[in-house]
Structure formats: C-alpha cells, structure tokens
Amino acid sequence: MKLITPVKTRKQTLVKMKSSLLNVVFILVVGLPLIYLQLFREPAVRGFFCNDETIIHPFTENTVSTLNVFIVGTVVPIATILIVEQLFVEGNKGKLTKKKPVKSEADFNYFAVLRIPGPDIINVLLGFIFGAVASHSLVTIAKFGIGRLRPHFMDVCRPDFSKIDCGTPMHPSFVTNYTCLGNVDFFKVSESKGL
C-alpha cells in the first residue's frame, strides 16, 4: 500500500484552493453586468396606452419581505448544502479513514476532525453562489432590455395627462413622451417601470 505523502496532500489542497479562487473570479465576472446595470444605468422608458387596464392597479406593499426572500432563497439552500456535505460526503470520508490505521500525518483529515468546511464544500457553495448570481444577472439584463411596465405604474408615476395625447377610444395613441408627477422615490418609479 502506497502512503500519501504530505507534499502530495498539500498539492491537492492547493489545486482545490486554486479551483475555489477561479470560481470566485467566475462569480465576479458573471456579476459584473448586474453591478453595472444597477449602479450606472437607468431603466428604459417604456410607452403605454392611456386605456391599458394592465397598468392601472393601485400600488401595494410587498406581501413577502426582502428578508424572507433572502432567507428562503439563500440561507436555507446554503445551510442544506453544508449539512448534506458534512453528513454524507465528509462523514463518509471520515468513516473510511477510521477503518484504516493512520500511518502518517498525511492520512489524517484535519477538515473532517475540526468540522471545518473543506475545499470540496467550499467549491459546492461557490457553485451555488455562481448559479444564483448568474440567474440574477440574466433576469436583470432581461428586465432592462425587454421589461414591461408594472401593474401599478399609473399609481406610482401619475403621468401628466394635460400634456399627453391619448388619442380616441377607437384609435388610442401609444404614449412614449411623458413626465411622472407622482412619487419621486426612484426605487418605486423604477420598480413600476419593470425593474
């Protein structure tokens, strides 16, 4: 039986750490469009028909808080990943090494004994974070590119109808040049524009 040398174990750990670092770089690259759009771009101004019934609903506060969404969408999956990885993956590695006598320091799994998430678990978590960031970036890009007005747009924006030509009921005009007189809170206005 060939013993694993500490040098080989260190090399394997370094390779896994480099892989983790590369995953972090990928997450940052995928997140760049999200950061750019949120910080430096205004949402596109969308037009509307004055008699569009899909955008005249009253504004209501969120029924699910941002904290609840964060907990269910991020904390619960990360906790589940950690528990499953620790119980099944790292736990099985520990059982396998317990059956064999430890012949060198290299055979000893410090990550398993100290219950510290090892490089494998970190890479699994980084994979989850990569997927979450990629998904959020794609949704944000789609909202900026092809988003539509929210159902509460008229209530939040309150366009100045004295300067708008709505056309006739038989031939409504598509309004693209308008000024919002309503709530000046940018978040609510940008939210009503589809973001």
What integer pLDDT is reported at residue 63 of this predicted model? 87
Q: Give the least confident one: 20-34, 83-97, 115-129, 147-161.
A: 83-97
What integer pLDDT is reported at residue 190 of this predicted model? 55
What integer pLDDT is reported at residue 76 of this predicted model? 93
Most confident region among 42-51, 66-75, 115-124 by mean pLDDT: 66-75
CA torsion angle 22 24 26 32 (round to 10): -150
| Mean pLDDT, all residues of the chain | 77
Asked if pLDDT for residue 117 goes beyond 50, the answer is yes
Q: What gap in Å lies between CA 82 and CA 77, rounded to an integer?
A: 9
User: Within a 13 Å sphere around the CA of 1, how many CA atoms are in the beta-carbon half?
Assistant: 8
| % of the chain surpassing 90 pLDDT | 18
pTM: 0.67
Give CA separation, 113 vs 3, 72, 109, 117, in Å. 20, 30, 6, 10
- How is residue 77 written in tokens? 């999956």
pLDDT tens for residues 36-66?
888 888 777 788 998 899 999 988 888 888 8
Q: Give the least confident one: 28-32, 75-79, 108-112.
A: 108-112
Q: How would residue 28 be classed by pLDDT, with cut points 50, 70 and 90?
A: very high
Higher per-residue pLDDT: 67 or 114: 67
Q: How would residue 147 be classed by pLDDT, with cut points 50, 70 and 90?
A: confident
Nearest-5° angle of CA 172, CA 173, CA 174?
A: 125
| % of the chain surpassing 70 pLDDT | 72
The pLDDT of 108-121, averaged and rounded, is 55
For the chain, domain boundaries: 6-192
Q: How would residue 119 be classed by pLDDT, with cut points 50, 70 and 90?
A: low
